[in-house]
Amino acid sequence: MLGPTLRRFYLNVRQGDEVIADREGMLLEDVGDAITEALVCAQMDRAARNGSEANGRIFEIRDNEGKSGRPFRFRLKKTAI
């Protein structure tokens, strides 16, 4: 029995004119998983900035064929615990 087919997705981060290119990518089943990873990365980015928001950052998801999906702009808000 064959498992799921994995594809390589790249998650580039853009803020203004600056682009941080993802050169390694990650193996995922589909673009839905790539979106989930983008959300996790955005939350980790906010945590690394001591809770400041990731406003203005755009996460661009590309597949291994260089096709670009829709860019995702994140505005994370602090939540009460």
Strands 26-28 and 7-15, by their bridges, are: antiparallel
Under the banding of pLDDT at 50, 70 and 90, the label for residue 63 is: confident
Mean pLDDT of 43-64: 70
The pLDDT value given to residue 25: 92
Q: What is the pTM of this model?
A: 0.71
pLDDT of 18-43, one tens digit each? 888 899 999 999 888 988 988 888 77
**Domain ranges within the chain, ordered by starting residue:** 7-73
Distance between CA 46 and CA 81 in Å, rounded? 16
CA angle 18-9-61, nearest 5°? 45
Output the six-digit token pair for 75.
Answer: 């505005």
